Structure 1
Amino acid sequence: MNAAVNPAAPHHLPSFITAPGGTDYLMVIAAIILIGAVLGIGLLFLRLHTLPERMAHKTHKIQFEVVAVLGLLALFTHIHAFWVAGLLLALIDLPDIPGMFGRMAGSLEKIAGIAPGTGGDAASDAETAVPGPDGIAPYAGASVEEKNHA
């Protein structure tokens, strides 16, 4: 077998043209760039897709779980409205209603002299009765009508 150059070919070939059986360096470089571009664009898309969840997590939002579920729904259903809703929820500060009521209950327990965390327990009427002018709780155990008539 003769490896001579075809006489119709130009005398100087570009460097990306390889001999038969040689390594095609241009194809190897193009494959590396293609794989890098696909991975880079995929990571960029993933970072953009998880933006609402990361925003809600960073600011310790109450609605973090809802934002995370909306992000997963948007990822698996390809319905972009879920992603937009998650982004809006991540940007909005919702008031901490349960925490606010818990703080109010704790303050009322402190004012009433009840041990913290026991204000919701069932207490007997004698413990919660209001003492009369003589210091005795006259209405302990009395019905509402009896208390109103006394």
Structure 2
Amino acid sequence: MTACSSPQDQATPTTAPATTTASSTSAQSPSPTALPAAADGTDLATCADGTCEVQVSAPGPIGLPQTAEAALSLASVGNASVTMAFAPTATNFSTDCDPLDACSNRLTLVEGGQGNVATVRVGAKMTFNKVSVVVVAVVGTSAVLRISPA
């Protein structure tokens, strides 16, 4: 059988309605754009009593009381972590991280003898001698640290 076309089948072609496609965006979770407000702002002098919550970004010392038995210095901030150097001001020193896998520690020589350099992820607590430091948040090269007696 042969197919034939009738004049009706040869009617003027119609244009199909235009279709639109929604452009897809990548499903990325939004990164934080601002740090939470630190209770003591950027005033590192508030740490002199051993208890403070401060925003930090520049490398340098963070003054602690003598009872902390440690000197603390900020080395760097970035990649959702903070790198800090601790130097003991007492004969012995101890370190601890909670959770354990959230810190990278290494012994190093610091002014006056041995010390500890620790890279601590957001949410972790690093304890050195009698001071604890919690990394509250990191955005870019700034962080909020909560410092308290251990």
TM-score band, normalised by the shorter chain? under 0.3
Which of the two has greater strand per residue? 2
Q: Structure 1 length normalisation: TM-score? A: 0.19
Tell which structure's C-alpha radius of gyration is larger: 1
Between structures 1 and 2, the one with greater helix share: 1
Task: Select the structure with the greater relative contact order (CA < 8 A; seq sep ≥ 6).
Answer: 2
